[in-house]
Each structure stands twice: as C-alpha cells, then as structure tokens.
Amino acid sequence: IEIINTDAEGRLVLCDLLTYVEERFKPKLMVDLATLTGAILVALGNFYAGMFANDDALAEALITAGKETGEGVWRMPLDPEYDKMIDSKFADMKNIGGRFAGSVTAAQFLQRFVEKTPWAHLDIAGTAMESRQTEINQSWASGWGVRLLDRMVSDKYES
C-alpha cells in the first residue's frame, strides 16, 4: 500500500481487521462502523450515515432498520470507476484516491480486502457526535448505530 496521506491511517487498521475476521471466523456477513472520512460530512451532513455495501440484501436490511430506528443510512456507490482512483503506479494500491469522492474511495479501499462475504461499511463521521441533547443522548457521543444494528440483527435472525 502506497501511503499518500498519513492521516488516512484508520482504513489501514480496518482493512487488517476485515481480512482477519473474514479469514478466521468466516462470518455470514460483516458490518463495520467507523468515523472514517470528513468527506461523508460534506456529502450527507449529520442526518445520515454513508452506507457502502457489496450485497443488496444486506443494504436493504440496513436501510429498513435505519428507518425503523431513526438511524438513517444512505447508500453510496461502490463502482469500478471509483476503484481506479486508488490504483498506484508503485504499489498494489494507494491509501487515498485524491481530492474528490473521498468517502467513496475509502470504502473502495476497504472493499479490496473483503473476499466474498456480504459486507457493509457505515461511515458514521457525521452521525457519531451530537451537538444537542436528546431523550436518548445526554452527552455529545450519540451511540449512533447501536439501535440500527440491534434492529437489523433481530429482524434478520431472531424473527
């Protein structure tokens, strides 16, 4: 991996984790949540998490759970054209793609480390922090995604 930006270190840790989990545990699916990019804030603000998924059924389950819990996700593209943006002349890939589509190229980077498992990446940089108190959240950390994943798992596997 060619390191273009040392501030994009989170995806390096996450790609190792995705590889390890898939190889070691052979899960039915994987969902990662990370405050990975500021670019998702530019795209979606604080109202939705950006969702990138390699599996339509998993994406739909997350969208449904998001609507039911008020923790909305917005599906963002994964596409070979974006994947080309992280190709490198000197290594297998670069850790960032450049100025444009930062959240998309971060997800494309992660996708390169997922072999065949249904997978979704939720970029929660915009939803992880709250500036206002709510009934559930009395501090700045929102806990975003806990209800979403609980609902998705209970809907998909406990009914």
Residue ranges covered by each domain of the chain: 10-157
Per the rule left: phi > 0, alpha: psi between -120 and 50, beta: everything else, 45 is left
Global pTM reads 0.93
Strand, coil or helix: 66: helix
Considering the domain 10-157, what is its CATH architecture? 3-Layer(aba) Sandwich (3.40)
For residue 16, what is the enclosing H or E element?
A: helix 10-25
pLDDT digits (tens, 9 = 90+) for 14-64: 999 999 999 999 999 999 999 999 999 999 999 999 999 999 999 999 999
The phi and psi torsions of 117 (rounded to 5 degrees) equal -75, 135
